[in-house]
């Protein structure tokens, strides 16, 4: 193989590697934007447990955290079903931390519905507890 052929072969291999690297980079960028689009949530209001709201006797008191996916689902469920609720952030409020410890810690959300405590989010359990509460 002469010197010119080696140079041409090297150039072709280099161009092929660059094209592969560009395709890989394009795929990673595309995947990144797809994940962003898929992770978007519709906004839900966080209703903090203020003394006024507690005085109005909400149906549900939730101990949650801003990062908790199930807390988001619970708030969305409450708002779509007109369930009167409020939330204590169990990481960032004194009362939330205290209630979280009193109710056994563990996973969030912790839902307090009358005398019932639900750990985690389950539409069926929420409905059952609200039905028992209203009897």
Question: In terms of domains, do 67 and 120 share one?
Answer: yes
Residues 75 and 119 in one domain: yes
Same domain, 86 and 128: yes
For residue range 47-76, what is the model confidence (pLDDT) as tens digits? 999 999 999 999 999 999 999 999 999 999
Domain that holds residue 18: 1-40
Co-location of 85 and 116 in the same domain:
yes
Tell me: do 25 and 62 sit in the same domain: no
| Residues 6+ away with beta carbon under 8 Å from 4 | none
Per-residue model confidence (pLDDT) at position 31: 73
pLDDT digits (tens, 9 = 90+) for 31-40: 766 666 656 6
The reply to whether 30 and 71 lie within a common domain is: no
4-54: pLDDT as tens digits: 555 555 555 556 666 667 777 777 877 766 666 656 667 788 899 999 999
pLDDT for the residue 133: 84
Report CA torsion sign: 112, 117, 119, 125.
Answer: negative
Residues 94 and 63 grouped into a single domain: yes
pLDDT tens digits, 103-128: 987 889 999 999 999 999 999 999 99
């Amino acid at each position: 193989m002469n010197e010119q052929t080696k140079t041409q072969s090297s150039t072709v291999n280099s161009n092929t590697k660059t094209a592969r690297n560009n395709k890989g980079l394009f795929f990673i960028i595309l995947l990144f934007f797809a994940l962003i689009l898929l992770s978007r949530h519709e906004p839900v209001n966080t209703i903090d447990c203020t003394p006024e709201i507690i005085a109005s006797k909400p149906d549900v008191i939730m101990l949650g955290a801003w990062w908790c996916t199930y807390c988001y689902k619970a708030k969305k469920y409450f708002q779509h079903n007109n369930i009167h609720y409020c939330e204590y952030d169990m990481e960032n409020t004194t009362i939330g931390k205290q209630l979280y410890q009193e109710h056994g810690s563990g996973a969030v959300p912790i839902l307090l519905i009358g005398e019932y405590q639900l750990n985690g989010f389950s539409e069926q359990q929420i409905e059952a507890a609200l039905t028992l509460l209203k009897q």
